[in-house]
Structure 1
Amino acid sequence: MTNDIFQKFKDIILNPVETFKNSRDETLGTAFLYFLVIIAVYSVLSGIVSMMFFSIFTLFMPGMDALLAAETSVITGVVSIVFGFIASIIALIFGSVILHIFVYILGGRKGIEQTIKASIYSCTPLALFGWIPFIGIIAIIWSYILNALAIRELHEISTARAVLAVLIPLIILIVLVGVALIAFLTVVSSSDAFIVEKTLVYE
């Protein structure tokens, strides 16, 4: 089983299109097992990185006890591993549902199982590089490219439709985050102006 997972991992990295074609009849259970393994690896590596960064951060905290700092770093790493693993599963479920809505709108009729499989296989670069600071950005872009390829092959739709199905939810998310950020900054700015005004009045 381990060899099969490693082989799948290598095939997705080296020959993704052919691998996706060969995965059309693969069961969702097999794909989900693959997902659990690669996300477990990713979560552990991310947890170790978080622990290292927190350890470095505590070095600059005056009066920090060495034993307490070590214990806190370990707890931070463990929490990061558990949270990352659980959050990845939740993100897969919700992300696949949202993605499938746009896949269906754009002509994908092979079922949500194929969309979930596409989401799972496209996570492979994240497991490989996503835990590395800064380089993880490349892994995210790579994963989006693989997601579009996987949607195209598993749903058997055109490249343009597959790309749109992947990009539209991303664009909507970016817009929503931007609107939320602008709204937050507006509220903060208004609050600061109100406080300054009240201060001047009382003075």
Structure 2
Amino acid sequence: MHLKNALQKYPRLIVRALVHPTGIFQQIRQERAGTVLAYGLVIVLFNLIMTVLAAVSGLTPELMLPMAIASVLTVCIGIFWLHLFVYGLGGRNGVGTTCRVAVVGLTPTALLGWIPGVALVGFLWSVLLLYLGLQELQDLSKARAVLALVLVFGLPLLLLALLAAAPGFSVAWASPGRVTWV
């Protein structure tokens, strides 16, 4: 019974995330935390399977598979990183709510991230969903939601830029699929 219910809900959640972004957060607010977490696991598993198939078929560089596996860990850490800024900017509806926003926000990236040339569209749609979700579920203003996302994505990029500019740091690309840290 529970599996049948989940199989009916997940496609609706996916469609709403892709075509009705504000409506998805109104719907997800009513869902149990376990349902949202299971939905997140399903879309991440879909992404990993498709990434493996694309890598095995030669459709994507061999670097894609380690990146997909690392992204699963990044999502878990990223939820808490996002919540740090959400809380600092006034979001007081809990880390579980931030998790709901992140899981729904992950949908376009998980569904499209394994497709070369389309992954960027999925990522940008995910950022839009995060923005809308922070407003809807964490009750952040538009400006605070933007600031939270700028900090979440901007600080690591700034750190990487500073690290890349440091003397003695370089990345050598022996081939497109191999990264060597020197």
Q: TM-score, normalised by structure 2?
A: 0.81
Which residue does the alignment assign to 1:128? 111
The alpha-carbon deviation at position 22 of structure 1 amounts to 2.5
Which residue does the alignment assign to 1:195? none
CA displacement, residues 110-168 of structure 1 (integer Å, 9 cap, x when unaligned): 00000011111001111221111121111111111111111111112212111211121
Percent identity, aligned pairs only, is 29
Change (3 A) 1:23 1:188: closer
Structure 1 residue corresponding to 2:21, chosen from 16, 21, 39:
16
CA displacement, residues 13-39 of structure 1 (integer Å, 9 cap, x when unaligned): 111102102222322211110011111
Which residue does the alignment assign to 1:4? 9
Structure 2 residue corresponding to 1:32, chosen from 13, 21, 37:
37
Any residues of structure 2 matched to 1:42-191 within 5 Å, and which? 42-53=47-58, 80=65, 84=68, 87-183=70-166, 186-187=167-168
The alpha-carbon deviation at position 169 of structure 1 amounts to 1.6
The structure with more radius of gyration: 1
Contact 1:126 1:140 in 2 (8 A): yes
Which residue does the alignment assign to 1:62? none
Quote the Cα distance in structure 2 between the aligned partners of 1:123 and 1:188: 32
Which runs of no fewer than 5 residues in structure 2 stay unpaired? 1-5, 171-182
The alpha-carbon deviation at position 88 of structure 1 amounts to 4.0
Secondary structure of 1:145's match?
Answer: helix
Contact 1:96 1:119 in 2 (8 A): yes
Secondary structure of 1:138's match?
Answer: helix
Quote the Cα distance in structure 2 between the aligned partners of 1:165 and 1:172: 11
Which runs of no fewer than 5 residues in structure 1 stay unpaired? 58-75, 190-203
Quote the Cα distance in structure 1 between the aligned partners of 2:72 and 2:113: 16
Runs of 4 or more consecutive aligned structure 1 residues displaced over 6 Å after TM superposition: none
The alpha-carbon deviation at position 52 of structure 1 amounts to 2.1
Which residue identity lines up with residue 91 of structure 1 in the other structure?
Answer: T
Report the count of equivalent residues: 165
Contact 2:163 2:169 in 1 (8 A): no
1 or 2, which has the higher strand percentage? 2
Contact 1:152 1:162 in 2 (8 A): yes
CA RMSD of aligned residues (A): 2.4
